[in-house]
Amino acid sequence: MLIKLHNLQCPQNSKHRKKIVGRGVGSGHGRTATRGSKGQKSRSGDGTRRSHFEGGQTPIARRTPKRGFCKNNSHKNRYTIINIKDLNKFHSGSEITLSTLRNAGLISRASKKVKILGVGTLKIPLSVKVDALSKSALSKITKLKNGKVL
């Protein structure tokens, strides 16, 4: 006989009754309801623990000493880095500020501080007004005639 979806049947005695626990001693699964005797796993809540649980001893994050003051990264000065070769796209003598760099698409809108590094060469004189400059960038800007750092 060909087996198809419309004539499928379960074999005889293949269906198991669901285990019913905690319904009296006579059921065979009463009293402790198949959880064993006492302990965390026998209680309600399944005895689940967080992944870094260390069996009740003081966790390693609390055992290790904390040193230094500034653990909060919001105190860090985070600069958006721009190389001096990227400034060649501006016109000669223009003033470079945070807003002009944003408008040119060199930095994102979220950038709050900018630092210019001296990678590459600068071909045009510019007036630069940013938060920080490297020594090599400073020398390359001031070396050109009419180049200024404000």
Q: In CATH, what number is assigned to the domain containing residue 121?
A: 3.100.10.10
Whether 143 is in a domain gets the answer: yes
Whether 28 is in a domain gets the answer: no
Per-residue pLDDT at 59 = 93
Whether 91 is in a domain gets the answer: yes
Whether 44 is in a domain gets the answer: no
Per-residue pLDDT at 18 = 87
pLDDT < 50 positions in the chain: none
Encoding tokens for residue 55? 């069996």
Per-residue pLDDT at 85 = 92
Based on its alpha-carbon atoms, the radius of gyration of the chain, rounded to whole angstroms, reads: 36
Whether 5 is in a domain gets the answer: no
Tally of structural domains, the chain:
1
Whether 42 is in a domain gets the answer: no
Supply the range of the domain harboring residue 111: 77-149
Per-residue pLDDT at 55 = 84
**Strand ranges (E), the chain:** 80-83, 95-96, 114-117, 127-128, 132-133, 148-149
Whether 3 is in a domain gets the answer: no
Whether 62 is in a domain gets the answer: no
Encoding tokens for residue 64? 């290790």
Locate all alpha helices (DSSP H) within the chain, ordered by sequence. Answer: 60-63, 98-103, 135-143
Which long-range contacts (C-beta less than 8 Å, at least 24 apart) are formed by 106-110? 106/82, 107/80, 107/82, 108/80
